[in-house]
Amino acid sequence: MADLSRVSGGRFLVIGRAGMDLYADPPGTRTEEATRFSAALGGSSANIAVALTRQGCRAALLTCVSDDAVGRFCLNQLDYYGVDRRHVRSTGGEARNSLAVVETRIENCQSVIYRNGAADFEMTVADVEAVDYTAYSALITTGTVLASEPSRSAAFRAFDLARAASLPLIFDIDYRPYSWPSAGVASEVYSRAGAMCDVIVGNDVEFGFMAGDYSHGLDCARNLAKSAQIVVYKRGEHGAITLTADGEFASGIYPTHALKPTGAGDSFLGAFVAALSARRPLLDCIQRGSAAAAMVVSRVGCASAMPTIAELDTFIATHPGPTLTSDSSL
């Protein structure tokens, strides 16, 4: 079990994809009716890295991008947001960068993801073995990186190397069924990853999937908390349940006027980990993650919507919450 106090160093290695998001413009437009789109950095891991840098931390991304205009767009965007990309490798051939065509809508929001021959799945064991893990405060990964080879084996090799360097492992479940060959394979791989990690964050659907029964998600989270130091079981509008060796507690959400459903999970994780890095009390960390999620769903974009420390502090000081619903008890 790693020493979680190490995260206070504030320098994080994030494994996983960076992609291009195309938003139908103006907000509210359906994709099939759009005549113009705005481009933004996307991909769950890249979003998390941006969220961390906006919260005053340092973040490096470990992944592959396509050696083409879209891949170079992602590299330029990482530079723009101050994300260290020394561990991002451009790969040629038929590999293509992740691309998402997204709407800024709440009702019937459509998100079309192009992931065939995804460049980020080309990450190899050699890529992760080239990293000096002692230079970082923690390793963060999302479940998407585990969906295909050679990325899966590379990620588990990175887990081993990070553990050898005494780094805490932080795992955002981030289950995307379309990336996996089957639910059975996904469940087995997620269980293996979860057993290795110190901090695990996911929503009720993702924990339910891991449990093999969506009604037993909280039981799965409680089981993982026997080995992990912190498990955060998010329940959407009903808030979250946080589990540690000391027990469990419920927390609420910050009400907001949402424009879209996307980006909440990435912003939550970034602000949550940044707060851990600042040695804030655990409940405060959860609440800052919840506030950041509320901010991002009320803004256009994902990476571009991640709040700064000052913006997050102002939001928390001027907005009601966090509120608990009648269904938010343990």
Closest C-alpha among 118, 184, 191 to residue 151: 118
Per-residue pLDDT, 325? 58
Angle at 89 between CA 86 and CA 95, to 5 degrees: 155
What 8-state DSSP symbol labels residue 25? S
Spell out the per-residue pLDDT of the chain, length 330, in tens.
Answer: 889 999 999 999 999 999 999 999 999 999 999 999 999 999 999 999 999 999 999 999 999 999 999 999 999 999 999 999 999 999 999 999 999 999 999 999 999 999 989 999 999 999 999 999 999 999 999 999 999 999 999 999 999 999 999 999 999 999 999 889 998 999 999 999 999 999 999 999 999 999 988 899 999 999 999 999 999 999 998 999 999 999 999 999 999 999 999 999 999 999 999 999 999 999 999 999 999 999 999 999 999 999 999 999 999 999 987 876 555 455
What is the DSSP code string of 32-99? GG-S-EEEEEE-HHHHHHHHHHHTT-EEEEEEEEESSHHHHHHHHHHHHHT-EEEEEEEE-TT-B-EE
Helix, strand, coil % over all residues of the chain, rounded to 5: 45, 25, 35
By CB atoms closer than 10 A (0-12, 13-18, 19+), residue 85 is buried
What is the DSSP code string of 195-253? HH-SEEEEEHHHHHHHHTSGGGHHHHHHHHTTTSSEEEEE-GGG-EEEEETTEEEEE-B
Q: Cα 215 vs. chain centroid, distance in angstroms? A: 24
Per-residue pLDDT, 291? 97
What is the DSSP code string of 166-181? T--EEEE----GGGSS
151-164 vs 183-196: helix crossing angle, rounded to 10: 10
Per-residue pLDDT, 323? 76
Per-residue pLDDT, 227? 95
Per-residue pLDDT, 330? 56
Walk me through the domains of the chain, giving residue ranges and CATH numbers: 4-18+43-85+119-318 (3.40.1190.20)
Closest C-alpha among 142, 126, 178 to residue 13: 142
Q: 113: helix, coil or strand?
A: strand
Q: In the structure encoding, which two tokens stand for residue 133, read together?
A: 């893990």
What 8-state DSSP symbol labels residue 118? B
Per-residue pLDDT, 329? 52
CA dihedral sign of residues 55, 281, 265, 261: negative
Closest C-alpha among 173, 176, 262 to residue 217: 173
The Cα–Cα gap between 64 and 95 comes to 10
Strands 138-142, 11-15: pairing kind? parallel
Per-residue pLDDT, 30? 97
Amino acid at 109: C
The Cα–Cα gap between 291 and 17 comes to 24
